[in-house]
Amino acid sequence: MLAALRGTPLVWYVVVPQTVFDSGDIQPNVLVFPADYGGVSYVQDRMEGLTASAHDTSVERVQCGGQTLFSFLDRPVADADYGALIGPYLALTERYKNRPGNKPPALHHLREALGYTAGGGRLTPDFWAVPFGFEDALERRRQVLVIPQVNGGDIGFAKATGLKQIVASAVFTIYTQGSVLTYEKLDIKPLILTCYSESGGNVFTAARNNQKDVRALVCFEPQYMNAKGEDKSLALGKDVIPSLLRSGGKVAIIARRKNGWDGKYLPTGVRPSDLILLPDDANYTLLDYPDASKPYDPARSPVLARRYSRLLKGKSDKVLDAILGSSGNVVDLPSVQQELKVEAIIVDLRKRGLTDEQLIKNVFTPEFNADPLGGYFTHNFIVASGQPGSGGETVRFFELALAKIG
């Protein structure tokens, strides 16, 4: 974590993967958080800006900068790792139990399966907030992640001319003041800029003002592509992307792009063939909303399978089985109590004779199949997940985009 004494953004995060420690070629990837997913408010010109609780304490629905950083970097918890992680995780949560603000979520809610909250005799789908797993891709692609901590919705001088020089100064500060970077001479490459949702406007503006120093954009369902948002001063993607492409730059867009979504997330006037589009056509159904006219089909979409697995296949979930059958020295009691309540409601609904389809419709009422409430998690899923690779494994969209950029 670095501080820049020029105003907003005062706070900068720099993540240096181990694979870069002995490399002289530094490929910076500048990630800008959206205002509603990582935007925090802090004083920009005093020490209080560095010590503000917004950097390390989440309160209700407002995530602190540290939690957002964790969300982007860490990978989802694999079922096979749960047993080894639960003890240290509970020790960590116990250590911070008296801190103000939100407590860490249950470990099993950091898996790719959607969780549920029981209350009033009903089940409510949780907001799907699984970690995005960027760190793995950065390590394999040997890139340094640089994050200007957005202040409210503003990244200030980070979107002005001279961004590469600022990033280079941050890297050289780490080089001269620490022992992480060990190569004799560093060469800072042109920037990759990454945006998600509302941060599209900030990134498009930064790209416009620094075109000669930007080699690529990675855009996850970006706002400000074809229409202005709340901040009318920000540039639009449709005006910036053509110029970047003409200069030899590359643009990856990971987004819904069919059934009317193309007007929102694809730049008008740009041929789709000139863009890196993910998921590819063969895997586009990953992003489909559930079809109310059709029954649940677990083979149709891995997204839906993860969304419904707790409801329909809880008995075959080894992690849930471990939680509900907890014994020995490591017992996550709050998770046991909550999952017992969830299980009791599922059992009751089954006793009433509900089929899989009826159970899904009982829980996922129409408001949970729309973007505004976040009930259906396509807008988050797009950042965290990916599509099958050549060996059948899931390759995250972020890593695919970086690989195609080269």
- Say how many C-beta atoms besides its own lie within 10 A of residue 389's C-beta: 12
Strands 394-396 and 386-388: antiparallel
pLDDT digits (tens, 9 = 90+) for 224-235: 999 998 899 999
Cα 108 to Cα 114: distance, rounded to the nearest angstrom: 10
Please report the pLDDT score of residue 292 as a whole number: 60
pLDDT tier for residue 370 given thresholds of 50, 70 and 90? low
What does the pLDDT read at residue 297?
64
Specify the pLDDT at position 328: 58
Write down the pLDDT at residue 52: 79
The predicted pLDDT at position 185 comes to: 85
- The per-residue pLDDT for range 185-220, each reduced to its tens digit, is 899 999 999 999 999 999 999 999 999 999 999 999
Q: What is the pLDDT of residue 374?
A: 46
Question: For residue 243, what pLDDT is reported?
Answer: 97
Q: Residue 144 — very low, low, confident or very high, per pLDDT cuts 50/70/90?
A: very high
Please give, one letter per residue, the 3-state secondary structure of the chain: CEECCCCCCCEEEEECCHHHCCCCEEEEEEEECCCCCCCECCCCCCCHHHHCHHHCCCECCECCHHHHHHHHHCCCCCHHHHHHHHHHHHHHHHHCCCCCCCCCCCHHHHCCCCCEEEECCEEEECCCCCCCCHHHHHHHHCEEEEEECCECCECHHHHCCCHHHHHHHHHHHHHHHCCCCCCCCCEECCEEEEEEHHHHHHHHHHHHHCHHHEEEEEEECCCCCCCCCCCCCCCCHHHHHHHHHHCCCEEEEECCCCCCCHHHHCCCCCCHHHCEEECCHHHHHHHCCCCCCCCCCCCCCHHHHHHHHHHHCHHHCHHHHHHHCCCCCCCCHHHHHHHHHHHHHHHHHHHCCCCHHHHHHHHCCHHHHCCCCCCCCHHHHHHHCEEECCCCCEEEHHHHHHHHHC
Q: What is the CATH number of domain 2-72+132-286+396-405?
A: 3.40.50
* Cα(239)–Cα(293) distance, integer angstroms: 40
Summarised one tens digit per residue, pLDDT across range 150-187 is: 888 889 999 999 999 999 999 999 999 988 888 888 99
Q: Average pLDDT of 52-65? A: 78
Q: What is the pLDDT of residues 262-301, one digit of tens each?
A: 899 999 999 999 999 999 999 888 777 666 666 556 556 6
The token duo for 274 is: 């000139």
Lowest mean pLDDT among 162-166, 179-183, 354-358, 369-373: 369-373
- Of 99-108, 253-262, 298-307, the poorest mean pLDDT is in 298-307
Rounded to the nearest 10°, the torsion over CA 214, 152, 111, 139 is 30
Mean pLDDT for 382-394 is: 84
Domain edges within the chain:
2-72+132-286+396-405, 80-122+288-391
Please list, residue by residue across 41-59, b when 16 or more beta carbons sit within 10 angstroms of its beta carbon and e when fewer do: ebebeeeebeebebbebbe
Percent of the chain clearing pLDDT 70 (strictly above): 92
pLDDT value at position 354? 94
What value does the mean pLDDT take over residues 326-341?
84
Mean model confidence pLDDT for the chain: 87
Looking at residue 91, its pLDDT comes to 92
Residue 373 pLDDT > 70: no
pLDDT at 376: 47
